[in-house]
Amino acid sequence: MAVIVITGGTAGVGKATALRFAKAGYDVGLIARDEASLHSTQEELRRFGVNAHAVQADVADSQAVVDAANEIEYRLGAIDVWVNNAMGAVLAPFRTLTPDEFRRVTDVTYLGYVNGTRAALELMVPRDRGVIIQVGSALAYRSIPLQSAYCGAKAAIRGFTDAVRTELMHENSRVQLSMVQMPGLNTPQFEWARNKFAWAMRPVPPVFEPEVAASAIFRVAQKPVRELWVGGSTIQSIVGQFLFPGFLDRLMVKKAWEGQMTDDLNAPDRQDYLDRPVNDLHKIHGRFSDEAKNRAPSVTSGMPGKVALGALAVAGIMVTRLLTRRKT
């Protein structure tokens, strides 16, 4: 029986991924902070007839992650797939973030991946097999306003992953290290992230269901690739950043700033998960199911033909927008 470990596996993409692998017969190890949600998710997974083991740990604590990995491997057997997915965010202009807030997002969203990768490699390298998947974002290439700490962390994950991948290649290791760059997703992230605005916020459209991300992660686990770019918006953002970075800067000023705003005020008793887990049963979907898409195109970063087509598509979009602006 194959074994997968997922950090941040009790909500959103993490929980959708856990269920996707359980349906395929994988035993599942979960690492997250909220004990009640860990127990609830573990019971859901066991209904598929697989083994599941949950460990309460903060991914920012490197030793806690190593201990969790060893415990899961002891309970379930050798870990075949490790998915780094836990994240945190603060939705606000950079100048309003405190040093502690920025550090906490970095500790979880970036160093949490570093800690998870280290723990996985300690177990996988000696037996010379395994797949580590970093759940990334189009924001790893194309940053947007109001999420400076999160964007910085996602870009750092990409740089870190590229470096470690080349080290594994130099050692002729058969451990695979992949990254899956995601579009905007309909998860509870915007309900739980610290928000310094009075208004509730949202992902920049188009929005996709978390199951789209889970299917992409499952695909990479079966056939590892260097990077998988999920969703037309992700492909356009990444290729567009290579071709028109200055234009995208100007486009983000309006599209990504206002595009993250809603007309709804935050609830007075709103919780955020930055310093402690939210006290609620964790769910997969956010508040945008009415518009979320269930399917998305994807390409690998090693598919030059499709990437070239994506570049042409982006170029066409940019030229059209420029001409439209000049006419108005």
- Identify whether the C-beta of residue 86 lies closer than 8 Å to the C-beta of residue 108: yes
Q: Helix 232-243 crosses helix 245-258 at what angle (to 10 degrees)?
A: 140
Nearest to 6 by CA among 63, 79, 75, 78: 79
| Cα gap 77→3, rounded to integer Å | 7
Cα dist. 235→216, 245, 297, 312 in Å? 14, 14, 9, 11
Q: Rounded to 5 degrees, what are φ and ψ at 205?
A: -70, 160
Q: Helix 35-46 crosses helix 12-23 at what angle (to 10 degrees)?
A: 20
The residue annotated as part of the active site, out of 110, 113, 141, 150, is 150
- Identify whether the C-beta of residue 227 lies closer than 8 Å to the C-beta of residue 181: yes
| Cα gap 81→5, rounded to integer Å | 6
Count of alpha carbons within 13 Å of 57, Cβ hemisphere only?
Answer: 27
The DSSP 8-state label assigned to residue 300 in this structure reads: E
- Which residues neighbour 59 within 8 Å (Cβ) at sequence distance 6 or greater? 7, 8, 31, 65, 84, 86, 108, 111, 112, 113, 115, 116
150 is catalytic: yes
CA 308-314-318 angle, 5° bins: 145
| Cα gap 131→302, rounded to integer Å | 18
| Cα gap 12→10, rounded to integer Å | 7
Q: Which residues are catalytic?
A: 150
